[in-house]
């Protein structure tokens, strides 16, 4: 009888311990959003480097160096005006007709050449870059990938582990799937403030997205969960009040990818 009781007690202990571990793992996975601030910034860079290599394995950068130099020139006043200097930014322009751009964790920013062809001014390109830079600063991609990779990765990252393996599928999700509307709105509002600090006309944000929304019944990926263009226009108008435009940017017209 005593041996049976011992077995029951042992099973209860195992159940409690196992349940506790499972609960911790579940909370870590579910709470990735809240825990991201506790994750060292080096984790963002590790994730971004891996994801960037995986994405570029399927997307060729422009042969002509002109588009990359152009994007870096447009980004320069934005980077100078950034208040958060946590990351070093790397830009690449890929030979893709899609009207899209995305920022991976750690500061790895990819611009599709199709976006440069669709933009009518440097201010429109700057608006997209200002938006994408804030996905990096706000760590939206890091939050998402920690959620996708699961609880053990979250716990490893929180305790300083940077040996994180990013599956190809997760990397391509970061590159091709839009953030949720709240994250997009947050990147918009921070991006508008950055444009104003850099002396760049913030109307480029609303003009570009309004025009894209009218081009096709199926909006490009860049618009899929972004705020309504009308809301963007109002926000840009508010940001422009009292703003001093001191920086004139060159047009992307005439650039060639090949």
Q: Note the pLDDT of residue 163.
A: 59
In a domain, 26, yes or no: no
pLDDT digits (tens, 9 = 90+) for 160-187: 555 566 666 767 777 776 688 888 889 9
Tokens linked to 89: 């930014």
In a domain, 2, yes or no: no
- In angstroms, what CA-CA distances link 27 with 35, 215, 233, 243? 10, 44, 39, 44
Q: Note the pLDDT of residue 192.
A: 93
Q: Note the pLDDT of residue 22.
A: 41
Q: Note the pLDDT of residue 212.
A: 80
Exposure letters 89-103 (e unless 16+ CB within 10 A, then b): bebbbbbbebbbbbb
In a domain, 15, yes or no: no
State the total domains in the chain.
1
The answer to whether the beta carbons of residues 114 and 96 sit under 8 Å apart is yes
Q: Note the pLDDT of residue 90.
A: 97
Q: Note the pLDDT of residue 24.
A: 40
In a domain, 179, yes or no: yes
Q: Note the pLDDT of residue 13.
A: 42
3-class DSSP state of 238:
helix
In a domain, 25, yes or no: no
Q: Note the pLDDT of residue 228.
A: 64
Q: Note the pLDDT of residue 25.
A: 41
pLDDT digits (tens, 9 = 90+) for 245-254: 999 999 999 9
In a domain, 206, yes or no: yes
Instruction: Give residue 84's domain range.
Output: 31-240
The answer to whether the beta carbons of residues 222 and 115 sit under 8 Å apart is yes
Nearest to 154 by CA among 28, 15, 20, 26: 28
Helix (H) or strand (E) holding 111: strand 108-112
- Ranges in the chain, pLDDT < 50: 7-30
Q: Which residues contact 129 (CB under 8 A, 6 or more apart)?
A: 71, 74, 75, 78, 101, 109, 111
In a domain, 255, yes or no: no
- Kindly report whether the global pTM for this prediction surpasses the value 0.85: no
Paired strand residues for 94:
61, 112
In a domain, 14, yes or no: no
């Amino acid at each position: 009888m005593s041996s049976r009781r011992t077995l029951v007690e042992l099973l209860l202990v195992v159940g409690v311990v196992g349940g506790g571990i499972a609960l911790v793992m579940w909370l870590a996975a579910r709470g990735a959003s809240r825990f991201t601030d506790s994750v060292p910034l080096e984790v963002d860079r590790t994730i971004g480097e891996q994801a960037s290599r995986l994405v570029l394995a399927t997307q060729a950068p422009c042969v002509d160096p002109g588009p990359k130099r152009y994007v870096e020139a447009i980004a320069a006043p934005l980077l100078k005006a950034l208040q958060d200097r946590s990351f070093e930014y790397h830009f690449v322009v890929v030979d893709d007709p899609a009207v899209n751009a995305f920022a991976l964790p750690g500061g790895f920013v990819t611009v599709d050449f199709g976006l440069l062809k669709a933009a009518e001014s440097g201010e429109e390109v700057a608006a997209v870059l200002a938006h994408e830079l804030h996905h990096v600063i706000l760590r939206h991609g890091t939050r998402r990938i920690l959620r996708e990779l699961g609880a053990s990765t979250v716990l490893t990252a929180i305790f300083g582990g940077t040996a994180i393996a990013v599956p190809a599928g997760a990397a391509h999700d970061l590159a091709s799937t839009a953030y949720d509307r709240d994250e997009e709105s947050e990147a918009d509002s921070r991006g508008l403030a950055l444009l104003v600090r850099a002396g760049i006309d913030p109307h480029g944000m609303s003009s570009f997205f309004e025009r894209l929304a009218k081009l096709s019944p199926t909006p490009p990926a860049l618009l899929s969960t972004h705020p309504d263009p009308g809301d963007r226009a109002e926000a840009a108008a508010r940001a422009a009040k009292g703003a001093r435009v001191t920086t004139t940017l060159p047009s992307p017209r005439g650039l060639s990818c090949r």
